Amino acid sequence: MLELIQTNGYSGTGLNAVIDHAGAPRGSVYFHFPEGKEALGAAAVDLARAQFETLIAEAAATAGGPAAAARSTIEALASIVVESDFQLGCPVSVVTLEMGANSDRLRQACATAFESWITPVARLLENGGLGADAARSLATVIVSTIEGAVIVARALRSAEPLAAAADIVSQLIDQRLQSTAVAR
C-alpha cells in the first residue's frame, strides 16, 4: 500500500491493486485489515512514519551535529526520489492532501507521523543549544521545508529543490545555533 500511495496516491490505490501488488491472498488483507482501505492507509502512513523516523535517527547519530544531520537526511531523501525516477515521494503528504479533510483517522495518522519527525529534530536542536520553543519552531520549519522540497522536486523532475533545501536548512540551523551561542 505504501508504494502504491507514493506512486498513485491514496485515492488512486484500490484494495485490488494492493492485493495484486503484494501477491497476497485476498482473505489475508481483509483478515489483517477488517476495517478496509482506511485502516490499510493508516498502517501505510505509520510505516512511512517509522521509516523516516529511522532515517532522522541514523543521520543524528552519524552526521556530527544538527546541520549535518539535516543535510544527510535531505540528501538521503533526494536519492530515493531520484532513484525512483521521481515516482516516489512522501506518502504522508499525499494522504494528508487527499484525505485529511475527509477522514479523521487518516488525518490523525498523518499528524502523528509529522509530529514523530518534528520531535526528534527539535530534540537534536535543543541538544545543539536552542531553547525548547525555538527548537520546536525551527524543527517544524525544517520538516515543512523538506516536505515541500520533495513535492517540488517531483513536479520539476529535478533534485535541485532538495539540494537547495539542504543548503538553506543547514545554513539556517548553523545561524540559529551560532546566534544562541553568542547570546549566552
pLDDT tens profile 50-79: 999 999 999 999 988 999 999 999 999 999
Domains of the chain: 46-183 (1.10.357.10)
Task: Provide the pLDDT for residue 83.
Answer: 96
Task: Provide the pLDDT for residue 182.
Answer: 79
* Residue whose C-alpha is closest to residue 172's, from 182, 184, 164, 161: 164
**pLDDT band for position 165 (cuts 50, 70, 90):** very high
* Residue whose C-alpha is closest to residue 103's, from 45, 160, 162, 145: 45
What percentage of the chain has pLDDT greater than the value 90? 68
Which DSSP state fits 103?
Answer: -
Q: Pick the range with the lowest mean pLDDT from 37-41, 47-51, 101-105, 170-174.
A: 37-41
Element (H, E) at 151: helix 132-156
Residues belonging to the chain: 184
Say yes or no to pLDDT of 101 above 80.
yes
Here the cell at position 151 is: 513535492
The mean pLDDT of the chain is 91
Rounding to the nearest 10 degrees, give the CA dihedral for residues 178, 54, 119, 106.
140
E strand segments, 9-104: none
* Residue whose C-alpha is closest to residue 69's, from 131, 141, 128: 128
8 Å CB contact between 109 and 88: no
Model confidence over 11-43: pLDDT tens digits? 888 777 877 877 777 777 767 777 778 888 898
Task: Provide the pLDDT for residue 55.
Answer: 92
Element (H, E) at 118: helix 104-128
